[in-house]
Structure 1
Amino acid sequence: MSSSIPRTAKRIAIVMVAVGTVLGASGCTGNDPENNSPAGSKSAPKKAGSNNDAAGKKVTIGFSGPAADHGWLGAINKAAKDAAKKYPDVELKVAEGTNDASLQISQIETFINDKVDAIVLLPTDGAALTEVATKAMNAGIPVINVDREFSNPFAARTTILGDNYGMGVSAGTYACQLVKQKKLSNPVIAEIAGIDSLPLTQDRSKGFKDALKKCGQRVDNRVSAEFTVESGEKQASNLVQAAPKIDILWNHDDDQGVGVMAALDQANRHEMAFIGGAGSANAMRLIKEGKMEATVLYPPTQAADGIKVARLIAQGKGISDLAQVEVPRRIVLNAPVVTKKNVDQYLPLAFES
């Protein structure tokens, strides 16, 4: 996600990990194996095996994220803590959630002074936290960058991201399937986006448009909201007034989707297949009840995955299911579509709006 995103807009699917390509060793150059060891380790990583969850050397991991002022962010923080509790060899130091970049910088400074073994950081502002993350890396402390990227890739040992463009592609691809399944002729497809000035919204909309284009469809009606319940209700009301018929509606965010559903209820407009985004428990319950068609996930597990990756790196391990002996530099999580057929698989990990 963009480092310039306001706190209300930063969210956004669950497990199903697509591992990125190893881009190179962190913070170093050359082909010397000693130089290519991950930051914070004394030797080259051990060969990946099937016993990664077995207790290893004790490691201390610092975790810092924004204030949990949104359901998705609350789930991010909880999942990180829960992941750490599963490992007796992990001591987790949790900084107080904040949307103040200066305060978060001081938190990372404290972790550096405490000489933690690794840092998992979901920055309130990726650009603002780049310098202090680089400082940690230079001190030999591997940094796991979650969700909002630093402005310099060398500020992190590994970056774990959701896939905003992929969300749009998933939503658009599913919409195309619905057009075919329902044998819709000249379908009206609508979109309720998030804040249009944000790269994440632009990426989601582009992915949606690109996927629709492949099946000869387009977005006929579009409005943008602000990732809040109130804005979702207001913009959905405007949308249904402007469009007397809608066959498929994609809403970018399930929190603002609460307001969208309220507007649809008030207008008695339930003729459309309503697709959500992000993966809230509320949306999944509506899917089970048949009141929503689907939702596209943006993983609230990113920080939990960060904790697991930080532990492996600090212990000099790789990911056991990969032949590569080192943890990848970049991991992008999948954006699957949740429908009535598979909702029970995802509901236990969904976040409350």
Structure 2
Amino acid sequence: MSVPETTRRRLLFGSTALGASAVLSGCLANTPPQQENQAAVAAGGGDNAAPGKHVTIGFSAPAADHGWMAAMTTYARAQAEKLPDVTFRPTEGGSDVSQQIAQVETLINEKVDVLVVLPADGKAMTDVALRAMQAGIPVVNVDRVFDSPDAYRVWIGGDNYGMGINAADYIAAELERANVANPVIAEIAGTDSLPLTQERSAGFREGLAKHGLEVTRRVAAEFTAETGERQATNLLQAASHLDAVWNHDDDQGIGVLSAVEAAGRDEFFMVGGAGSRQVMDRIKAGNGVMRATVLYNPSMCSSAVSLARLLAQARGMSDLAEHEVPRSVTTYSAVVTRDNVDQYLDVGFAS
């Protein structure tokens, strides 16, 4: 009996498919062991939530002289309390660098398993961090970076340059939306001698330049409400009109807002920095100059404690394929506005 051409083609196709399947099966059967294990590598970090060996985490940070710094210590302690396999050994916040160095030396002598250090001065504390690493104690360097990469196993901190960029992008978009031509843009920086302030200012300046804008007026405070109020008063007296203001820090912003209210000025909008709860509440209320804030989240200290635990337990991060904790982690500086403020209230800190 003759086979119709269409049926013959189907049979040939089916035979070809079966042949291909057989070849494929043969290839899979001969897959080298290292390729068979590739799928398992994706779980390199294991289950981070599962208890591991008990470890002692030493913690050192400067004195809690303003809200953001106090929140860093609060977050670290709270995270450690959630971890049943961790003993948390914090030191009292030092009033100066030499006191903090002595406290870290004490933790080294106690042979803690791992150190989390937010240095008052990264350069000044590099040597003691190097000694910890040389003693076999991994160091998690938080925010203010040590001078040598050998002084820490992992760094975690905020994106100061990115803060400036994101603040500039938001301000430029708001000015364009309001159709403001030749705007007067002011910047109230933090402590000018600090690299973090320099990076924030560079990001802001270069971010504005992308939009054909520039900083018209600039003053620098010192991350306190008192200096913020004093410098904002000087700025407002020198500038009869402003269109937008970026204040680097919400702690000094308490003083800045006091000066604004005392002067009765409301012709401009203001963007903050770091993300205090007081500023977020003002943004949500929507009844003043405060329009947004750019995060520099103290919750990074919670993450630092979690990373320290994994380092001491020789584990990686469960959502990453690598078997080790990464060398560095940079947090993101989200812009908090009235539209999304509810999403970020949980990380707002008290100024």
Tell whether the structures are fold-level matches, with TM greater than 0.5.
Answer: yes
* Alpha carbons 1:250, 1:274 under 8 Å: kept: yes
Residue identity opposite 1:344 in structure 2: D
Residue identity opposite 2:48 in structure 1: N
Higher gyration radius (CA): 2
1:200 and 2:183 matched? no
Q: Pick from 124, 139, 163 the counterpart of residue 128 of structure 1.
A: 124
Paired with 2:217 and 2:97, the residues of 1 have a C-alpha distance of 37
Aligned to 1:326: 324
- Runs (5+) with no aligned partner, structure 1: 1-44
Shift of 1:111: 1.9
Q: Pick from 179, 182, 205 the counterpart of residue 183 of structure 1.
A: 179
Q: Are residues 260 and 100 of structure 1, via their aligned partners in 2, closer, same or farther at CA, if it must alter by over 3 Å?
A: closer
1:257 and 2:257 matched? no
Q: Are residues 248 and 90 of structure 1, via their aligned partners in 2, closer, same or farther at CA, if it must alter by over 3 Å?
A: same
Shift of 1:49: 4.1
Which structure 2 residues correspond to residues 295-306 of structure 1 after superposition, within 5 A? 295-306=293-304
Which structure 2 residues correspond to residues 238-253 of structure 1 after superposition, within 5 A? 238-253=234-249
Q: Are residues 240 and 128 of structure 1, via their aligned partners in 2, closer, same or farther at CA, if it must alter by over 3 Å?
A: closer
Paired with 1:272 and 1:135, the residues of 2 have a C-alpha distance of 51
TM-score by length of 1: 0.84
Aligned to 1:12: none
* Alpha carbons 2:113, 2:137 under 8 Å: kept: yes
Q: Pick from 313, 316, 335 the counterpart of residue 314 of structure 2.
A: 316
Paired with 1:261 and 1:120, the residues of 2 have a C-alpha distance of 34
Aligned to 1:62: 58
Aligned to 1:108: 104
Please list every run of at least 4 consecutive aligned residues from structure 1 whose deviation after the TM superposition is greater than 3 angstroms. Answer: none
Which structure 2 residues correspond to residues 1-353 of structure 1 after superposition, within 5 A? 48-49=44-45, 51-290=47-286, 291-353=289-351
Residue identity opposite 1:127 in structure 2: K
- Match of 1:48, SS state, is coil
Shift of 1:57: 1.1
Paired with 1:340 and 1:46, the residues of 2 have a C-alpha distance of 39
Paired with 1:184 and 1:278, the residues of 2 have a C-alpha distance of 27
Shift of 1:59: 0.9
Aligned to 1:7: none
Paired with 2:183 and 2:100, the residues of 1 have a C-alpha distance of 48
- Match of 1:119, SS state, is strand
* Alpha carbons 1:101, 1:128 under 8 Å: kept: yes
Paired with 1:150 and 1:105, the residues of 2 have a C-alpha distance of 13
Residue identity opposite 1:193 in structure 2: A
* Superposed CA offset, 1:77-117 (max 9, x none): 00000001111011111111103323322222222222211
* Alpha carbons 2:42, 2:322 under 8 Å: kept: no
Paired with 1:96 and 1:191, the residues of 2 have a C-alpha distance of 34
Paired with 1:70 and 1:276, the residues of 2 have a C-alpha distance of 16
Paired with 1:222 and 1:64, the residues of 2 have a C-alpha distance of 34
* Alpha carbons 2:45, 2:322 under 8 Å: kept: no
Shift of 1:344: 1.3
- Match of 2:58, SS state, is strand
Q: Are residues 115 and 196 of structure 1, via their aligned partners in 2, closer, same or farther at CA, if it must alter by over 3 Å?
A: closer
Residue identity opposite 2:132 in structure 1: A
Shift of 1:60: 0.8
Residue identity opposite 1:348 in structure 2: D
Q: Are residues 222 and 104 of structure 1, via their aligned partners in 2, closer, same or farther at CA, if it must alter by over 3 Å?
A: closer
* Superposed CA offset, 1:214-236 (max 9, x none): 11111112222222212222222
Q: Are residues 112 and 270 of structure 1, via their aligned partners in 2, closer, same or farther at CA, if it must alter by over 3 Å?
A: same
- Runs (5+) with no aligned partner, structure 2: 1-40
Q: Are residues 113 and 224 of structure 1, via their aligned partners in 2, closer, same or farther at CA, if it must alter by over 3 Å?
A: closer
Provide the aligned C-alpha RMSD in A: 1.7
Q: Are residues 336 and 265 of structure 1, via their aligned partners in 2, closer, same or farther at CA, if it must alter by over 3 Å?
A: same
Aligned to 2:29: none
* Alpha carbons 1:46, 1:317 under 8 Å: kept: no
Shift of 1:247: 1.2
Paired with 1:101 and 1:336, the residues of 2 have a C-alpha distance of 31
- Identical pairs, percent: 55
Q: Are residues 112 and 198 of structure 1, via their aligned partners in 2, closer, same or farther at CA, if it must alter by over 3 Å?
A: closer
Shift of 1:47: 5.3
Paired with 2:263 and 2:153, the residues of 1 have a C-alpha distance of 50
Higher mean C-alpha deviation, range 303-312 or range 186-195: 186-195
Residue identity opposite 2:278 in structure 1: N
Number of positions where the alignment pairs a residue of Structure 1 with one of Structure 2? 309
Higher mean C-alpha deviation, range 297-306 or range 151-160: 297-306
Normalized per residue, which structure has more helix?
Answer: 2
